[in-house]
Amino acid sequence: MKKKSKKNKRASAGHSKGSLEGFGYKARPPSRAYPAESIHSLEQLKVLAIYSLLGVGALTGLYFLGRYTLRKIKRTHTESQSLQEGNPANYAKQLKMAFDNDNWAGWGTNEKLVFQIFHQIPSLASYKKTQNAYKNLYGEDLSSRLESELSSEEFSTVMSIIKAKQ
């Protein structure tokens, strides 16, 4: 009697050529569903992912709410100081008014008023405080606003006024 080779034994046992069953691996029947434990752990993972995303969203919202509240508190404090004569917030408010409305038509910049305000600012330190007050009140940089509102000659005049105050 002839001996069958291992290859022939597998082929005669009904195994397909690409199957790994002959090597100790068992194929999962296609009709068999996942065990209940793995379904339960998948559901727990989904719930964990959802709650994690909700937590990150809530923390992001709290961050932006806190930032908004802090900025509003700073703005309110600066506005209350802007009524005092000689206060940097007062200078910032006057500069904003000079930028927004200078004539009967209501458009353009009142350059004469801008120069007058910069002559009133007593020192370089006071100018820096005016810049901070302007940013707190209006949310924009005073220097960039000066550049956009004034011509290059007028801007250099303002900068020379500031540098002379050292």
Q: What is the pLDDT of residues 53-97, one digit of tens each?
A: 999 999 999 999 999 999 888 888 777 776 667 788 899 989 998
Q: CATH for 36-163?
A: 1.10.220.10
The token pair that represents 90 in the structure block: 């007062």
| DSSP H or E run through 41 | helix 36-81
pLDDT of residue 142: 92
The domain locations on the chain are 36-163
Q: Phi, psi at residue 97, to the nearest 5°?
A: -65, -40
Predicted local confidence at residue 97, as pLDDT: 87
Residue 132: per-residue pLDDT: 92
- Give the tens place of pLDDT for each residue, 87-144: 888 999 899 988 887 566 656 788 888 999 999 999 999 999 999 999 988 889 999 9
Residues 20-28, mean pLDDT to the nearest whole number:
61
Q: Is the pTM of this model over 0.75?
A: no
For residue range 32-59, what is the model confidence (pLDDT) as tens digits?
555 666 667 888 889 999 999 999 999 9
Higher pLDDT residue, 129 or 21?
129
**Contact indicator for 82, 92 with CB cutoff of 8 Å:** yes
What pLDDT is attached to residue 91? 92
